[in-house]
């Protein structure tokens, strides 16, 4: 198993501004078996078009494939995972740590 610690920057579109920090936090903390929220780094003020910029740190678990051990193979899998799992648009990510772990 490969563990990736990454910071992802999102643009989140909301339907209203009521309690927006709480709603954004709920979206960012949406955990799955392979994506685990570590901490929220920042949440910007809501814009007039109801969009918020937010950043959060995650732990991502990727199944190690024996036939492909290239770093690009794993890194290329990380950001697309956020497109499918969140009610937010990931804009970029910064990978801080990649390590092999026992599950």
Residues near 68 by beta carbon (within 8 Å), at least 6 away in sequence: none
CA distance 55 to 32: 18
Asked which of 68-72, 80-84, 99-103 is least confident by mean pLDDT, the reply is 68-72
Which pTM value belongs to this model?
Answer: 0.84
- Number of structural domains the chain divides into: 1
Q: In the chain, what percentage of residues exceed pLDDT 90?
A: 41
For residue 38, give its domain range.
2-100
For residue 101, the tally of other CB atoms under 10 A from its CB is 10
Q: What is the pLDDT of residue 78?
A: 75
pLDDT tens-place string over residues 50-73: 999 999 999 988 877 776 665 666
Among 41-45, 75-79, 92-96, the least confident range: 75-79
CATH of the domain at 16: 3.30.70
């Amino acid at each position: 198993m490969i563990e990736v610690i990454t910071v992802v920057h999102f643009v989140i579109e909301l339907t209203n501004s009521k309690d927006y920090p709480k709603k954004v936090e709920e979206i960012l903390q949406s955990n799955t078996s392979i994506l685990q929220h570590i901490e929220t780094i920042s949440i910007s003020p809501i814009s007039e078009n109801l969009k918020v910029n937010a950043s959060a740190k995650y732990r991502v678990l990727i199944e190690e494939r024996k036939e492909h051990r290239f770093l690009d193979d794993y890194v290329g899998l990380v950001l697309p995972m956020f497109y499918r799992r969140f009610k937010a648009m990931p804009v970029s990510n910064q990978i801080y740590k990649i390590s092999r772990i026992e599950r």
